[in-house]
Amino acid sequence: MKLLFTIFLFISAIAAAQDLGHLPSSQLKGNFIDFAPDNLGNLYVLTNDYQLKKFSVKGDSMGVFNNVKRYGKLTTINASNPLRTILYYKDFRTVLVLDRLLNDVNTIDLRKLNIFQVKAVAPAYDNSIWVFDEQESKLKKVGEDGKLLSETADLRLVLDEAPLPQKIFDQNGFVYLYDPSKGIFIFDYYGALKNRIALIDWKNLQVLGNNIVGIKDGKILSYKTGTLEISETPVPEFIVNSKDLHITPVGIYVMDSTGVSLYSFSGY
How confident is the model over 39-43, as a mean pLDDT? 91
Residue 164 lies in a domain: yes
Render pLDDT for 45-57 as a digit per residue (tens, 0 to 9). 999 999 999 999 8
Residue 203 lies in a domain: yes
How confident is the model over 202-231, as a mean pLDDT? 92
What integer pLDDT is reported at residue 22 of this predicted model?
59
Is residue 119 packed enough to be buried (19+ CB in 10 Å), middle (13-18) or exposed (0-12)?
middle
Residue 238 lies in a domain: yes
Residue 206 lies in a domain: yes
Share of the chain above pLDDT 70, in %: 90
What integer pLDDT is reported at residue 251 of this predicted model?
86
Band of pLDDT at residue 133, cut at 50, 70 and 90:
very high
- The total number of structural domains in the chain stands at 1
The CATH number that applies at residue 14 is 2.120.10.30
Residue 268 lies in a domain: no
Report how far apart the first and last C-alpha atoms of the chain are (Å, whole number): 21
Range of the domain at 187: 2-263
Whether 1 and 223 have beta carbons less than 8 Å apart is answered as no
Q: What is the pTM of this model?
A: 0.89
Render pLDDT for 60-105 as a digit per residue (tens, 0 to 9). 999 999 999 999 999 999 999 999 999 999 999 999 999 999 999 9
Whether 65 and 104 have beta carbons less than 8 Å apart is answered as yes
Q: What backbone phi and psi angles, to 5 degrees, belong to 233?
A: -140, 130
Whether 108 and 94 have beta carbons less than 8 Å apart is answered as yes
Render pLDDT for 157-168 as a digit per residue (tens, 0 to 9). 999 888 999 999
